[in-house]
């Protein structure tokens, strides 16, 4: 390790929001030419810390030191001026502008009548070549892939001579192949002397890329380490603060009959183009089939078609032997399907409804809850209290609006409702996206439990760790088609990742 002055040093940063201590005496430093990972769950305070660094928030206490001198960063512009660049998780790009325009934004005062786009374009090409950031400067950004857009973000920062680059969850939207490409680029940048803050919650990526790792939990630093001295299990425990079980035990289960069968399925997407193309799937009782793939490759449309939420063009679907092709969502449920949708706040729960009401959503016609033609309040509360208890939903009361719960607890609530109906088939789309590790662990355990009871489980996920942790078989979707189905034993991250790019 070098002893030179760090490029960036955050000293004792504290930031309070009403009722929340977002950062509590956090210290953190980055040296030139290194990747320092900032690891933590959603809400651990990573984003707040970086927003302070980028001038979007001001710290209540503490100092920011840049190159050994105290710095005041009051706005994104002043951050850029002090050569701090940021690649936001939600890209800060204007899709209707070209790459060169996106880079040129803010470079010139509006009093300069015309931006010198030719010069900007030439410099972009230079940067592209130097760091292998391939992108066509004259193309509209909306035409670019996610990986290319990220490169534009990095170019934007480098164009402004960033010495310190902050990447906020940069891999969340990338395919494994694109992640590999990104890592190559980042290593080239560090070799050229750039300091990088790598914000992530993906343990294996942090281990693969970083020089040093700092872990945040509840706004405080709970661990500092280097990859050589730690492993995923230990990092996870620093993040969660207790022992965690990253991959649930999956006892050997005798598979039963085919519970869910999809054959020759064709579905049209929102844009009127084919979204699902000739998909055949069989899921047996006692089996978890994981569907891997980068989002937007037809997974959502497949799920909606199975759940009866989307019209299908051709093909057939059956649940437990009964034909459910083109049925209503209610009929699919009646046939034995439980559905945990991808957009949990849009399709899974009603935010303004309270916990008890959301737990009742699919059973509201059930005679158990109706007396004299009206809802039986006592019965409903007993039912809700039992589910909240059984599925460990953390809620102040049964009448708390669901929208005020955390993502993990909303997901548990939906799981409680869906699993309580003793389904034959469970369809879970992105079941742990945006959910903390503790809740994810719990949800995984519940899904494996259902498998043990002979339920057929179809899990759709963009998170390869999740797919690998749960699945007996892994189907990979690309461009609407299932390009390959692996047995768990034969699947490696590399082979699945490659299939996700369409290479079989």
Partner 1 sequence: MSDFFTLTVLVGTLASGIRTAMPYLLAALGETVGQRSGVLNLGVDGVMLLGAFGGYYTVLQTENHWLGVLVGLAIGLGMGLVYALVTIVFHAEQGISGIGIFLFGLGFSDLLFQELVGTPRPIKPLPKVEIPLLADIPHLGPAFFQHNLLTYVAFALVPLTTWMLMKTTFGMNVRAVGENPQAADSLGVSVAQTRMGAILFGNTMAGLAGAGLSLQLAIFQHNLTNGLGFIAVALVYFGAWRPRWVLAGALLYGMVTATRLRWQSLDIIPRGASDVAAMAPAIITILALVLLASRVRGPAALTKPFSRH
d(CA 228, CA 374): 63
Q: Which stretch binds partner 1 (CB under 8 A): 105-113, 376-384, 407-415, 474-482?
A: 105-113
Q: Which stretch binds partner 1 (CB under 8 A): 31-39, 42-50, 64-72, 100-108?
A: 100-108
Question: Which C-beta is closer to partner 1: that of 102 or that of 171?
Answer: 102
Given a contact cutoff of 8 angstroms between Cβ atoms, the answer to whether 138 and 100 are in contact is yes
Q: How far is CA 293 from the centre of its chain?
A: 13
Region for residue 328 given its phi and psi (left: phi exceeds 0; alpha: psi -120 to 50; beta: otherwise) = beta
Q: How far is the CB of 97 from partner 1 (least distance, A)?
A: 6
> Binding string, 51-90, against partner 1, x = CB under 8 A?
---x-xx-----------------xxx--x-----x-x--
d(CA 419, CA 416): 5
Given a contact cutoff of 8 angstroms between Cβ atoms, the answer to whether 64 and 52 are in contact is yes
d(CA 104, CA 117): 7
Question: Which C-beta is closer to partner 1: that of 115 or that of 329?
Answer: 115
Question: Which C-beta is closer to partner 1: that of 97 or that of 385?
Answer: 97
Question: Which C-beta is closer to partner 1: that of 162 or that of 460?
Answer: 162
Q: Is 105 in the site for partner 1 (CB under 8 A)?
A: yes
d(CA 367, CA 351): 25
Q: Is 115 in the site for partner 1 (CB under 8 A)?
A: yes
Q: How far is the CB of 133 from partner 1 (least distance, A)?
A: 18
- Residues in contact with 246: Cβ distance below 8 Å, sequence separation at least 6, in sequence order: 232, 233, 236, 441, 465, 469
Q: How far is the CB of 471 from partner 1 (least distance, A)?
A: 37
Positive or negative: CA dihedral 291, 169, 24, 210: positive
Q: Is 156 in the site for partner 1 (CB under 8 A)?
A: yes
Kind and range of the H or E element at 62? Answer: strand 61-66
Q: How far is CA 375 from the centre of its chain?
A: 38
Among residues 104, 167, 189, 384, the one that binds partner 1 under rule CB under 8 A: 104
Given a contact cutoff of 8 angstroms between Cβ atoms, the answer to whether 451 and 278 are in contact is no
Q: How far is the CB of 156 from partner 1 (least distance, A)?
A: 7
> Binding string, 383-422, against partner 1, x = CB under 8 A?
----------------------------------------
Among residues 93, 260, 262, 437, the one that binds partner 1 under rule CB under 8 A: 93
Block residue for tokens 């929208």: 403
Q: Which stretch binds partner 1 (CB under 8 A): 113-121, 228-236, 310-318, 381-389?
A: 113-121
Count the site residues for partner 1 by CB under 8 A. Answer: 31
Q: How far is the CB of 309 from partner 1 (least distance, A)?
A: 24
Q: How far is the CB of 105 from partner 1 (least distance, A)?
A: 5
Among residues 106, 193, 241, 257, the one that binds partner 1 under rule CB under 8 A: 106
Positive or negative: CA dihedral 62, 59, 151, 137: negative
Q: Which stretch binds partner 1 (CB under 8 A): 25-33, 112-120, 282-290, 439-447?
A: 112-120
d(CA 342, CA 319): 20
- CB-based burial label for 188 (10 Å; 0-12, 13-18, 19+): middle
Q: Is 94 in the site for partner 1 (CB under 8 A)?
A: yes
Q: Are strands 61-66 and 8-17 parallel, antiparallel or unpaired?
A: antiparallel
Q: Is 96 in the site for partner 1 (CB under 8 A)?
A: yes
Block residue for tokens 């057929």: 456
Q: Is 374 in the site for partner 1 (CB under 8 A)?
A: no
d(CA 98, CA 110): 18
Q: Is 264 in the site for partner 1 (CB under 8 A)?
A: no
Given a contact cutoff of 8 angstroms between Cβ atoms, the answer to whether 483 and 299 are in contact is no
Helix (H, G, I), strand (E, B) or coil at 28: strand
Q: Is 109 in the site for partner 1 (CB under 8 A)?
A: yes
Among residues 1, 69, 114, 251, the one that binds partner 1 under rule CB under 8 A: 114
Residues that bind partner 1 (CB under 8 A): 54, 56-57, 75-77, 80, 86, 88, 91-97, 101-102, 104-115, 156
């Amino acid at each position: 390790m070098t002893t030179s002055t760090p490029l960036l040093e955050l000293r004792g940063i504290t930031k309070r929001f009403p009722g929340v201590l977002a950062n509590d005496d956090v210290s953190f430093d980055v040296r030139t030419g290194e990747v320092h990972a900032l690891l933590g769950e959603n809400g651990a305070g990573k984003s707040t810390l970086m927003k302070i660094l980028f001038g979007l928030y001001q710290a209540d206490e503490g100092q920011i030191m840049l190159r050994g001198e105290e710095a005041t960063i009051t706005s994104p512009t002043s951050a850029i001026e002090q050569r701090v660049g940021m690649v936001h998780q939600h890209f800060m790009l204007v899709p209707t502008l070209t790459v060169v325009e996106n880079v040129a934004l803010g470079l010139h005062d509006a009093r300069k009548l015309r931006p010198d786009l030719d010069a900007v374009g030439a410099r972009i090409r230079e940067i592209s070549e130097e760091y292998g950031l391939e992108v066509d400067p004259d193309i509209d950004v909306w035409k670019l892939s996610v990986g290319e857009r990220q490169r534009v973000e990095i170019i934007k920062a480098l164009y402004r001579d960033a010495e310190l680059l902050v990447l906020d969850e940069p891999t969340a939207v990338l395919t494994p192949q694109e992640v590999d490409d990104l890592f190559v680029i980042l290593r080239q940048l560090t070799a050229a002397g750039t300091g990088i803050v790598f914000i992530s919650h993906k343990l294996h990526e942090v281990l693969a890329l970083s020089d040093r790792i700092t872990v945040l939990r509840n706004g405080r630093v709970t661990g500092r380490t280097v990859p050589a001295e730690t492993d995923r299990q230990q990092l996870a425990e620093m993040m969660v603060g207790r022992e965690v079980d990253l991959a649930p035990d999956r006892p050997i289960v005798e598979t039963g009959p085919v519970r869910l069968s999809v054959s020759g399925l064709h579905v049209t997407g929102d844009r009127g183009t084919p979204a699902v193309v000739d998909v055949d799937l069989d899921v047996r009782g006692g089996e978890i089939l994981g569907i891997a793939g980068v989002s937007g490759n037809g997974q959502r449309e497949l799920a909606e078609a199975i759940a009866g939420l989307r019209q299908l063009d051709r093909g057939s679907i059956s649940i437990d032997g009964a034909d459910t092709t083109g049925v209503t969502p209610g009929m699919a449920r009646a046939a034995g399907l439980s559905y945990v949708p991808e957009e949990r706040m849009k399709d899974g729960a009603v935010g303004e409804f309270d916990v008890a009401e959301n737990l009742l959503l699919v059973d509201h016609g059930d005679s158990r809850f109706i007396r004299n033609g009206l809802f039986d309040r006592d019965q409903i509360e007993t039912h809700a209290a039992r589910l909240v208890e059984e599925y460990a939903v953390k809620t102040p009361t049964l009448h708390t609006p669901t929208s005020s719960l955390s993502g993990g607890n909303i997901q548990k609530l939906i799981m409680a409702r869906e699993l309580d109906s003793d389904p034959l088939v469970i369809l879970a789309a992105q079941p742990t996206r945006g959910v903390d590790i503790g809740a994810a662990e719990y949800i995984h355990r519940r899904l494996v439990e259902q498998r043990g009871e002979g339920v057929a489980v179809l899990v759709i996920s963009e998170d390869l760790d999740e797919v690998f942790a749960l699945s007996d078989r892994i189907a990979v979707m690309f461009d609407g088609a299932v390009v390959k189905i692996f047995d768990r034993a034969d699947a490696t991250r590399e082979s699945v990742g490659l299939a996700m790019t369409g290479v079989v």
